[in-house]
Amino acid sequence: VIEMENVALQQQVLSQAKTALESLEKSRAIGFPRGYDGLGEFLTGKVLYVLFRWDEAVAPLEKAIQQWPAARVEAYEKLLDIE
């Protein structure tokens, strides 16, 4: 029973991540609001990471490191995991 609950929870997280990624990609296409480029890149990279799309997560995480200092540690950690 617990294993089935974990699978259901994982599926829910992946579904939410896919929805978030769609919104982030739309925002990225038109341009994140001024001053939020780094945050947008970080969130995009983080969601791609959660979705196991690691190759695609690298570029936004690297941009986030440069553009949004608050995310540097977490972005570096994710990049190290990807390598």
Separation CA 61–CA 71 (nearest Å): 9
Entry pTM? 0.87
The count of residues in the chain is 83
**Per-residue pLDDT reduced to its tens digit, 46-58:** 999 999 999 999 9
pLDDT digits (tens, 9 = 90+) for 4-24: 778 888 899 999 999 999 999
Does 1 have pLDDT greater than 70?
no
For the cut 80, the answer to whether the pLDDT of residue 2 exceeds it is: no
Q: Which of 74, 76, 70 is nearest to 36 (CA)?
A: 70
- Per-residue confidence (pLDDT) for residue 83, from 0 to 100: 87
* pLDDT tens digit sequence for 23-35: 999 999 999 999 9
